Structure 1
Amino acid sequence: MELIPSERFKRTTKYVRAIIILTTIGLIILFVLLLSLLMYAKILGPPPLVVPQSTLYYSADGNVIGETDNGQKRYWVGMDAISPQLIKATVAVEDRQFYTHNGFDIKRIGGAILADIRAMSKVQGASTITQQYARNLFLGHDKTWSRKFNEAFYTIRLEMNYTKKEILEGYLNTIYYGHGAYGAQAASQYYFGKDALDLTLAEASMLAGIPKGPSNYSPLDNLEKAKSRQKVVLLAMKNQSYISEKNITEAQQAPLSLKGEHGTVTHKTAPYFQDAVKQALKSQLHLNDRTIELGGLKVYTTLDESQQDAAEEVVSATIPDSSGIQASIVAMDPSTGEVRALVGGRNYAESPFNRATQAVRQPGSTMKPLLYYAALENGFTPSTTLKSETTTFSFDDGHSSYTPHNYNHQYADGEITMAQAIALSDNIFAVKTHLFLGEKTLVDTAHRFGITAKMAAVPSLALGTSGVRAIEMVNAYSILANGGKKVKPVFIKKVENQKGEVIFAQNKKSEQILDADKAFVMTQMLTGVFDETLNGYTKVTGSTISSQLTRPYAGKSGSTPTDSWMIGYTPKLVAGVWTGFDQGKKIENPAEKSYAKKIWAAYMEKGLQGTPAKSFKETKNVIGVNVNPASGKLATKDCPVSRLTYYVKGTEPVEYCAEHFRGEKPTHLPDEPEQKKTPWYKKVLKPWH
């Protein structure tokens, strides 16, 4: 009988030993698992902090002109851009042991468990700032065991790979403050209309209390509850020795000026321009849509807000609301290609289709300067003469014919100079020049000028029958305006990522692609469009707007049955205007045909107002002489009209005009040669004279 207790003791000892062994093994396994988890977390490294952030667009003046988001207003700022009061208030009320724990507050977790047991429900939270940050970054708010495990794992990874400052910065930039405002900067702007750095103690303590329940503690929705929550925050700050009792009283009594409006961008400036910027981000930087929309980029554009306002105002003032005519404007700095203003239509809300960058329309006679530049390269000069008369051209080895007409079927019925042909927009002269050079020459020249559209090498190409985009035509004129240097339309100066790192900067390179002297000669001929000394069988095409112009301009208008154009420039600004119907309907109303010129003249004058008027600077290898516009010969004192005309040195006329002298041959005229030689170009073009 005495052996029974001994047996029981032995059996009990055996069980205790087993329990101890199993517990030890379990603790070892748990330790190994925890160590493995930590090693795995370390091997994985820092979790990617991909946070949707608003992308901001800036004008050339540094003003915010637009932003993109998915309904979450969030602007990432560094700790030095957040009020110290908000930082202290957040730590005090959300996680007072933040700087000492390793991601988990064990004491707080234990307290929360006891509180929940006593209440038989979940009444107290124990999440640290790091845990909340992990949840905001990577997880939802569903209450499942898998979510809790992932939250713990991401918390470990954050604590192992980021400093406390970096974690707190991330938390303050991702936490939700209600009303679509994510992060301290967006919330500060929404509630108080100021940056997060400028928050007072009263504002900071009010803001820090909102994340616990944005719908309950928003001062805009329930000021009484918000004030009560503010007091909790202030007391927590006092307990951490951040503030004094006096500070609490002052903060509670301080008046609050609530705004309740997202103020970064109140309206979208230049929406067509911004669409073009986004397209440039895709094509030039190869960014995807999500990065562009939510990547927290800062995009510094070339937009000049005053130029943009001028462009929008003149379109609105010129075209009546009842008109179905559409319009586009592109304005560029010819020296850099930077786009200063862009209007892609009359109403973005009704139609976001960008007629400045997307529409392909016939340019009409605005194509002629490119043709005549090619002619200058092939021996033509401003004094080159051809006959302007009704002409039928045969081509395609005689199998086809083409009969172009001048506006209103008006012709000189005699010879005119190239300078006058440009000013009057003579179509016969243009087609003759085009066929002499060879149809392929204009195609190649247009491509040199940056036009990418496919063009049909046919006689009518000289009159702009192949479609182009407005922005490419304006860019082509920029090359003439800057003296023949290659440029491309530039919308973006610089792009920064969410960390403030520059990921793109515009690199300006100067490449001479045209002869500078011939480019100047071409520009000087284009000033004739507004000079009535070049009037001939009809008035110069710019005569209807020349009275509105207060400085030297070069330009060219163009029209087809469905399109109306005006493109022109000064040394510092080039702009092009297109008007027409989207459906390609004919423009029948004479007033509607004049819209493009009126818009262009009003825009250029308004856009350049207050800037000094500058003439086009002649190049070194050109010479200016006074000529009779009708004959292209050197003018005498007896010529009724003369015009200063520029030529590449060595190509200027040497023969004086003898049509207007009175009496005997004047002594200032040189002797005529015994036998005149027929100019080379007239021999080639003899069939069309």
Structure 2
Amino acid sequence: MADRRQRTQPEKKTGPKKRRRMSGKTWFFLLFFTVVIAIVCGIIGYSLIILNGERMLKERADMMVMGEASIVYDANGNEISRLSTAEENREIAEYDEIPKEMMNAVVATEDQRFYEHAGIDFFAIGRALVKDVIARSAVEGGSTITQQLAKNMFLSSDKTLFRKATEASIAVALENNKTKEEILTLYLNRIYFGKGVYGVKGAAKYYFNSELKDLKLWQMATLAGMPKAPSRYNPVNDAEGSKVRRGVVLQLMYDQGYITKDEMDEAKAVDYVTPPTVEQSKDEPYKAFVDYAVEEALRVMPDMTETDLRIGGYRIYTTLNPTAQTVVEKEFADDSNFEESVDDKKVQGAMVIIDHRDGAIQAIAGGRDYERKGLNRVELPRQPGSAFKPITSYGPALETGQYFPWTVLKNDKTCFGNYCPKDSRGATPITMQEAVKHSRNLPAVWMLNEIGVSNGVKFATKLGFELSDQDRNLAIALGGLTEGVTPLQMASAYSTFANSGQTVDSHTIREITTSSNTAVYTYKAPSAEQVMNADTAWYMTEMLQTVVQSGGTGTGAAIDRPVAGKTGTTQHGIPGFNSSANRDAWFVGYTPEWTAAVWMGYDRTDEQHVLKKSSAQSAAMFSKVMKQAMADMPKSSFKKPQGVKEPVKDVGAVTNFNAVFVPEQMKVALSWQGAASSNISYKVYRKAMDQTDFSLFVDSAGTTVDDMSVAPGMTYDYYVVAIDAENNLTSKQSETLSVQIPETVIEVPDVPMDSIDPDEGGIELPSFSPDSGMTPTPTPGTETPPVETIDPGTTVSPEPTDIIASPPIEEGEQDGGNADGGDNPVNATPDPAQGDGTTNEAG
């Protein structure tokens, strides 16, 4: 055994192995089975496609049926619109109604092998795949009419390989269940032709005011060229571009033998003329309101798509007030209500009216010449200017309970850090009510600085404004915001003031039902929140009423019933453009029943497109609309809360104000009469001739003050106000008095001339000249010498000082010009140190 284990195996010979070559028979079988497997896989894949398509077609058979247009109703239950969708105003064309040339034009343009393939054009798919690989993304769309119909009926418009596979499945199923004629008819009834028009029959009427059967070749070619890009190729938007596209369609028809060359050339040469019916269609009423109502309906029913809503045959009952909406649209169509532009770019505008008693939106103007599904400017953020002062400055100040409409605010020109707000006037203290009435900027910024920026932001948040971190600075007192606010937001916020401090849920939808009158949505108002004290809302209403009264900045908004409101303008903010022109002009106001916001401005502001006027036109628009819209409504009054604190009326005016220069003591003696009360103190304000503004000179508990700091040759102006610190009241300022101090004042001892002997070292009197301004006193017993020959050696006394009384300084500004006192310098740079609302805050 051991010997056997120790035997070695014979060594194998090594060397290069000889590779065996496959015979031709092997190659044949390999290729054969590869082809068989590929065929089997192809059959299985095709079968899966067919089965998947059949399944989807069966599951969504209801989508083969044309939908019923949903109808929108006003507050009175009257129909105002049928929704503009694929089904709105669609007239279904039967196969035998569609001209043969129309079908030929579409087939030649969209799918020249339509009558040959079974729903999928594999050559076209291969071409699309190659393009996708080259572009490294899905860029090629469905290549057959059947695939486009499948996408239009069942799928989204995204371009993914999965969507294409699904599209192919449905296309094959459609081909198996429908004839070519049925597929082409479905396609022509569903495709979009731009301008809210769906279906070839409606397109013939809209673009050519013609019945489908009466279309000419050039018209059919025009329509056939539009589905690829309806907005670009429709002749109303771009007649020249449409004509070029028409030529492409006609060339394809000629190349494929559908028309002759003469027919092609003749159809190419025709120029499109827009029929009158196109212009009439633009006059469809209530478009902005209906568009907003559709948006709201989709918000309150998030599980419903827009297509479902529009073609589901729903009945949408809204809050629209037809009288108010008609008036709004009439006034917005009147060019005289808007500032004239230098070119065809119009000054735009927006307006929204809310019944703040229940939040129902009465009317909406989305802009001038608003088009369906256009830019609805009631939802477009703009800078609010001074209209934001009640929201971030005065409102939160009143809410603290420490400030009232009669509270005196500082109004002197000053900087807060490196933020220096501008104001057309500023110097004397002013009550909060006067600051609101005249739209003063400096008191608003000072007030916000006192209560703290953080409190201003919190108050704005409670009124529905989401301010950014960049907005935490003093500029928000004047409406200088990062993003701006919308007219709808402003109307909703002011509705809270009008509604005694309770929130208002603005809405347009009352109810949505099916065509069989089954309710699918009913509006239920959320519980109102008391976001501010009723006293705060009342005080604000009182102050805002003065804005539309004589001397206020919004007198143009006054109507024949109580109105409270606020103007607002913003400067253009264009770097390097030296102009006082404005970018935005507002008026936001309310009656006891309705609140409305009006905005005017250009969509795009540049040096050529700025507002030369301020908020006067916005206020006038408010007046014109509200007066007509509310003409038949009973008049009511603003409701005053019980127990609201009233200002004390016995501060009393400062009277008998006197200012006299006393040369012997080189001072100005001030005296006056005031109310006999221990609670009253006084503030004396002074302005020297080399100063531009008054400043506080002294606080006084009494009614006399001496100014010992006067200088020769100077002129000083003075006025006095009485202060009731306990009740936070101030009187109106006294008259302003002006006192001139002589250039030279010389005191001379009163010594009789006959008792002095000059030869014995007596007093040497000064020499006088005619320029000295003094008059010599004659020696007793002598004649008075003429003024021209004044003798030295005569006792003199200075001339009495002139005292000049000036009228009180006027604080008011009338409409016109920059009635808001400059409002918000949009590009102002507030002090970053104050950005968190803590630095420099006294309140």
TM-score interval for Structure 1 and Structure 2 normalised by the shorter chain? 0.5 to 0.7
How far apart are the structure 2 equivalents of 1:522 and 1:442?
15
Alignment counterpart, residue 552 of structure 2, candidates 520, 540, 552: 540
CA contact (8 A) 2:351 2:378 kept: yes
Instruction: Indicate the residue corresponding to 2:77 in structure 1.
Output: 62
Contact 2:74 2:320 in 1 (8 A): yes
Shift of 1:465: 1.0
Contact 1:436 1:685 in 2 (8 A): no
CA distance in 2, matches of 1:571, 1:215: 58
Counterpart position of 1:597 = 619
Per-residue deviation at 1:673? Answer: 5.8
Shift in alpha-carbon separation, 1:146–1:459, aligned structure 2, 3 A? closer
Secondary structure of the residue aligned to 2:464 is coil
| 2:405 maps to 1:382 | yes
2:555 is aligned with 1:518: no
Matched, 1:551 2:561: yes
Q: Which residue of 2 aligns with 1:85?
A: none
- How much has 1:595 moved relative to structure 2? 2.2
Letter in structure 2 aligned against 1:565: W
**Map of 1:626 onto structure 2:** none
Q: Secondary structure, in 3 states, of the residue corresponding to 1:402? A: coil
Distance 2:674 2:420 in 1: 45
Contact 2:513 2:521 in 1 (8 A): yes
Deviating 4+ runs (over 4 angstroms): 44-51, 71-75, 137-140, 142-148, 178-181, 320-323, 586-589, 660-682, 684-688
- Secondary structure of 1:560's aligned partner: strand
Residues 55 and 673 of structure 1: is their aligned pair in 2 closer, same or farther, counting only changes over 3 Å? closer
Residue 656 of structure 1 is matched in structure 2 by 651
> Aligned-pair distance for 1:522?
1.0
Q: How much does 1:584 deviate? A: 2.8
- What's the offset of the Cα at 1:612? 2.7
Q: Check 1:319–1:611 CA distance in 2 against 1; reply closer, same or farther (3 A cut).
A: same
**Is the CA contact (8 Å cut-off) linking 1:485 and 1:510 kept in structure 2?**
no
- Residue 394 (structure 2) aligned to one of 372, 394, 397: 372
Q: Matches of residues 453-468 of structure 1 in structure 2 within 5 Å?
A: 454=468, 456-466=471-481, 467-468=484-485
Higher helix share: 1
| Residue type at the aligned position of 1:481 | A
Amino acid at match of 1:519: A
Q: Which amino acid aligns with 1:313?
A: K
Alignment of 1:300 with 2:310, yes or no, is no
- Call closer, same or farther: CA 1:602–1:669 in 2, change over 3 Å: farther
Please state how far the C-alpha of 1:179 moved relative to its aligned partner.
6.5
Work out the CA distance in 1 between the residues paired with 2:411 and 2:367: 38
Query: C-alpha offsets along residues 434-457 of structure 1, whole Å, 9 cap, x if unaligned?
Result: 111111222111110112353601
Tell me the equivalent position of 2:352: 330
Distance 1:274 1:144, change over 3 A: closer
Letter in 1 for 2:601: G
| Cα contact 2:585–2:618 (8 A) shared by 1 | yes
Query: Does the CA-based 8 Å contact 1:569-1:575 persist in structure 2?
Result: yes
Post-superposition Cα deviations, 1:349-383, rounded to whole Å, max 9, x if no partner, equal: 399111111x1110001111122111011211111
The 2-side partners of 1:465 and 1:486 are apart by 24
**Structure with the greater alpha carbon radius of gyration:** 2
User: Measured at CA, do residues 453 and 585 of structure 1 come closer, stay the same or move farther in structure 2, by a change above 3 Å?
Assistant: farther
Alignment of 1:14-93 (within 5 A): 52-66=67-81, 67-71=83-87, 73=89
- Alignment partners' CA distance in 2, 1:215 and 1:575: 50
Aligned residues: 436
* Partners of 1:656 and 1:669 within 8 A in 2: no
- Give 2:466's aligned residue: 452
Gaps of 5+ in 2: 1-54, 92-152, 155-169, 183-199, 204-211, 215-276, 572-582, 659-670, 682-700, 702-722, 730-837
> What is the CA–CA distance in structure 2 between the aligned matches of 1:603 and 1:339, rounded to whole Å?
15
Instruction: Give TM-score scaled by structure 1 length.
Output: 0.56
Matched, 1:391 2:414: yes
Q: For the Cα contact (< 8 Å) 1:55–1:69, is it kept in 2?
A: no
| Aligned equivalent of 2:498 | 481
Secondary structure of 1:381 counterpart: coil
- 1:319 maps to amino acid: F
Mapped to 2, the partners of 1:284 and 1:143 lie a distance apart of 36
Letter in 2 for 1:542: G
Following superposition, the deviation at residue 331 of structure 1 comes to 0.6
- Aligned match of 1:276: 292
Q: Percent identity between the aligned chains? A: 27
Of 317, 330, 342, the match for 2:364: 342
Cα 1:52/1:437, change in 2 over 3 Å? same
Contact 1:71 1:180 in 2 (8 A): no
2-side partners of 1:428 and 1:143: how far apart? 73
After TM superposition, list the pairs within 5 Å mapping 1:431-442 onto structure 2. 431-442=445-456
Deviation at 1:144, TM superposition (A): 7.7
- Separation in 2 of the partners of 1:426 and 1:320? 25
What is the rounded CA distance, in whole Å, between the counterparts of 1:355 and 1:46 in structure 2? 39
Q: Tell me the alpha carbon deviations over residues 86-127 of structure 1, each in whole angstroms, 9 at most, x when there is no partner.
A: xxxxxxxxxxxxxxxxxxxxxxxxxxxxxxxxxxxxxxxxxx
Deviation per residue, 1:491-519 (Å, 9 max, x gap): 11111124421111111244222211221
Match of 1:319 among 338, 341, 353: 338
Offset at residue 531 of structure 1 (A): 2.4
Matched with 1:20 is none
Report the AA paired with residue 292 of structure 2.
A
Whole-angstrom distance in 2 between the partners of 1:145 and 1:393: 78
What's the CA shift for 1:54? 0.2
1:252-294 deviations in Å (ceiling 9; x for gaps): xxxxxxxxx9xxx996322111111121122221121211221
Aligned pairs (5 A) from 1:108-123: none
Counterpart of 1:613, as a letter, is K
Shift of 1:611: 2.2
C-alpha change, 1:465 and 1:351, in structure 2 (3 Å) is farther
- The one-letter code matched in structure 2 to 1:436 is E
Q: Which residue of 2 aligns with 1:617?
A: 639
Q: Which amino acid aligns with 1:458?
A: N
**Deviations for 1:596-615, whole angstroms, at most 9, x for unmatched residues?**
12211211212111323322
Q: Could you say which residue in structure 2 is the equivalent of 1:608? A: 630
* 2:428 equivalent in structure 1: 414
Cα pair 1:312 1:343 within 8 Å, conserved: yes
Q: How far apart are 1:417 and its partner, in Å?
A: 0.2
Deviation string 1:301-326 (CA, Å, 9 cap, x unpaired) is: 11111101111222232126756211
Query: 2:543 and 2:535 mapped to 1: Cα distance?
Result: 12
Partner Cα distance (1:356, 1:488) in 2: 16
Per-residue CA distance 1:213-248 (angstroms, 9 max, x = gap): x989xxxxxxxxxxxxxxxxxxxxxxxxxxxxxxxx
Measured in 1, the distance between the counterparts of 2:174 and 2:325 equals 52
Structure 1 residues 368 and 280, CA gap change in structure 2 (3 angstroms): same
Answer yes or no: is the 8 Å Cα contact 1:449–1:476 preserved in 2: yes
Find the residue that maps to 2:449 and give its secondary structure: helix
Indicate how the Cα distance of structure 1 residues 661 and 601 shifts in structure 2: closer, same or farther if over 3 A, else same: farther
Tell me the SS of whatever aligns to 2:378: coil
Counterpart-to-counterpart distance in 2, 1:58 and 1:316: 23
Consecutive unaligned residues of structure 1, counting only runs of 5 or more, are 1-40, 76-136, 152-177, 182-213, 217-260, 395-400, 533-538, 624-646
CA deviation after TM superposition for structure 1 residue 180, in Å: 6.8
* 2:301 matched residue in structure 1: 285
RMSD: 4.3
The equivalent of 1:500 in structure 2 is: 517
Helix, strand or coil for the counterpart of 1:372? helix
Q: Cα–Cα, structure 1 residues 275 and 670, in superposed 2: closer, same or farther, change >3 Å?
A: same
CA distance, structure 2, for counterparts of residue 372 and residue 474 of structure 1: 17
- Distance (whole Å) between structure 1 residues aligned to residue 309 and residue 728 of structure 2: 56
Kept in 1: contact 2:353–2:596 (CA 8 A): yes
CA shift, 1:549, in A, is 2.3
Contact 1:453 1:468 in 2 (8 A): no
Equivalent residue, structure 2, for 1:165: none
